[in-house]
Amino acid sequence: MATLSIGKTVLGEGIPKIIVPLMGNTTEQLINEVNEVKRLKPDIVEWRVDVYEHVDQIEAVQEMISILRKALTDELLLFTFRSHKEGGNKEVPVFYYVELVQAAIRTKKIDLVDVELFTGEKYVKELVETAEENGVYIIMSNHDFEKTPSKQEMVTRLCKMQELGAHIPKIAVMPNSVEDVIKLLEATNTMKTEYADRPIITISMGGTGLISRLAGECFGSSATFGTGNQVSAPGQIPVPELRRALGTLHKFR
């Protein structure tokens, strides 16, 4: 599995990189939150724009991107609109999702953008093309908040993301048993050893899947999500505890 360098951050080697979401609803909340998150020194800050009260106003979103970019001088900025069907806060037509994501990319003030695999291949290809034209890296994602697909299905989805041009394929699934967590870890290792030619991110959510957030260096997941003010998915843990656990595991590797 190859590494990927974005600025000073190298994904795919060593301790998994820490991503912290911004979940503020208002501009004031986001400004306060980003300053608090900076003190945690994450590698990547994810703006979950689907939670933002002005998400339906593209100019307001672009202005907020500018504010966040000025605040985040050392951290990478990831722009994410999580669709309602994949656990997000707001339901919008697909044409607006594409328009919003393209507008964010074209600011050239974000480092990475989340593109959902199941948006539709036509739209995914459009977004990949726009990102490539503007020097923005793509985390292509799929989320299942109800179950864990088969190991083969998870590998197939990650491979499809790779085929469609994702710089970082990502899958997050909900375990209903310990066996589901093992499936996710096995899929991660298989992807790493047999198919991946770039970093990947895999997550088994909830308390049952917590080990997947900590053991990425062992199995092949290149980044993990920790909490700042609010969680963006079940099972995230505060950044200080996450960093200590990742460091301890790395020490004994």
Active site residues: 143, 170
79 class by beta-carbon count within 10 Å (0-12 exposed, 13-18 middle, 19+ buried) = buried
Residues facing 227 on adjacent strands: 238
- Give the single-character DSSP code of 244: H
Q: What spatial distance separates the first Cα and last Cα of the chain, rounded to whole Å?
A: 18
Would you tell me the crossing angle of helices 151-164 and 121-133 to the nearest 10 degrees? 50
Cα separation, 27 vs 168, in Å, equals: 29
Give the strand pairing for 9-11 and 17-22. Answer: unpaired
Cα separation, 153 vs 168, in Å, equals: 18
Place of tokens 């980003």: 34
3-state class of 202 per DSSP? strand
CA distances from 24 to 49, 83, 88, 94, 182 (A): 9, 17, 14, 23, 34
Which amino acid, 240? P
